[in-house]
Structure 1
Amino acid sequence: MATFRKNVEEIRNRVVLTEFVVRNAHTTDYPGNYPGYDDKWDMQKFQKSFKIDVVQLNENFMEFDMVGIDAAIANAFRRILIAEVPTMAIEKVFIYNNTSIVQDEVLAQRLGLIPIKADPCLFEYRSTDEDSAKQEESEIDTIKLHLKIKCSRNPRTSKDSSDPRELYENHVVYSRDIKWVPIGNQADVFADSNIGPVHDDILIALLRPGQELDIIMHCVKGIGKDHAKFSPVATASYRLLPEITLLDRVVGEKAERLKQCFSQGVIEVEDIHVSVESTGILPPNLLVTEAIKVLMAKCQRFLSEMDTPNIE
């Protein structure tokens, strides 16, 4: 029995090389796949073997290794980070004046994709009901932003200058020109939050003398699966890093084919690598924490549905 158990564990952890494909056998396993082998999930065994090693962490990027879990769990975190961790983003754009060459629809889309720095935990979701949709925005569910700028000639420029940066004032509109307009008691509650665009150098439009923009924007809370603008990550990826052992020499064409099956620079490692790059709205380590909370809630809902009797 001990020999059988050892052989099964070797099969579960091996990398299988077929004629044109390399795959990890463990990623397709499920409990009960091997007759006579008890491979059901065990909490104590998981707690002993699971660990997280943070490889790199800075303001907008986090890279860490998760050891002792299946690749499906890493992929679940990736999908949750992309689509289910909430953020605040521009939802409504009220254009009162736009005399630039950028069409209203294009301008509204550009504004909607600007990452907004605001803690979504401090706001509530706006209801999607028809009655509530007619209600005015409040301080608990909406952030109001204002963009008002007009281009004019610079009276102090020399007559021989041809540089637009010298000839015109306010001819380049950046995200830094968007100003936060507090609603209700937001000025007191979020006095230290510095609400506004994450980056101040995002180009919005180019103006010429006489052209101007006067725009009001409303930011609401949402998730990435509703619209990509709510996604808090620029990239979230994972890769399986198994230990690879070649039992025989591989030469010639087969060696070239084998090399192409792997990413460049593959070495001997034993864990799953996950990286998260934030858009700057929230720190990457906080995004991972929020993703874990979402996954836990999903599991709890699933267990509750399993316990609920099916009454027809």
Structure 2
Amino acid sequence: MAVFNITHSNPSTFILMGIPGLEAAHIWISIPFAVFYIIGLLGNFTVLFVVYKEQALHNPMYLLLCMLALTDITTPTFVVPNALCIFWFNLKGITMGSCFTQMFFLHTVSLMHSAILVTMAFDRYVAICNPLRYATILTNARIANLGLVGLIRAVLFILPLPLLLSRQPFCSNRIIPHTQCEHIAVAKMSCGDITVNRTYGLVLFFVVIMSDLTLIALSYGLIMRAVLRLSSKKAHQKALNTCTAHICVMLMYYTPSLFSNLTNRFGQGIAPHIHIILADLYLLIPPMLNPIIYGVKSKELRDKVGKYICRK
């Protein structure tokens, strides 16, 4: 009751409830949350460390992998520590400013992640379809510039979300049935008309994510056309093997993202705790598995990581 009294006495405070309906299981749910988060941090920091230390890995492909690792570190970090405070210590209060800040950074990094996957698809296209010009088309500086463009795009698209919500009047019951300040979950607490917020969020999702998926599909369509023109099966296998890791990472990111967003907006028959668990796993599973996938599929990276492990 103390938590709710604080909420009413401080109108700028929200309450994150965690996973409503599963409060009794919060401690047990926190265990995989913490384990996935720690594994993800260890894997992604390992990738960053090895690429930084090894001069042979200072090329566009591994620079993109480092960008992906950075987003995989920051995305769950914006959510998991706060969620664990809810699960372990029942610390559910969050200020309006902190809530909007979490929303902004969480969605910005998510769009940045999508931009990196598009750039990775373009990288594979150039590597397979124009291998002789790869070094001149994709330099480290050009990859860094593409990353900066992706970041600017994410900031410009996401910034209106918290700005629009900050102008809304909020009801006295400021309880968010979620572990995070997800845009729609916060918007539903408003006493005003949130049609603009809903419309902008939906347009943003379909325009940005669908355009990114279209560019990725186009890249892989051109890759498949080039691969089919190769005469030997060995050449087929080698060309496709360079894309396997990216395809796995891409499917792990976009599949739960599409499912989570669509069910959150249109799946009214799905229990709320299912929405919340899916949204949280979407932020935890890909960051944990991405470095493992690239470690398994990239012999060069695997050998460099093995060198440091054996040295220890």
TM-score, length of structure 2 as denominator length: 0.25
Structure (1 or 2) with the greater helix fraction? 2
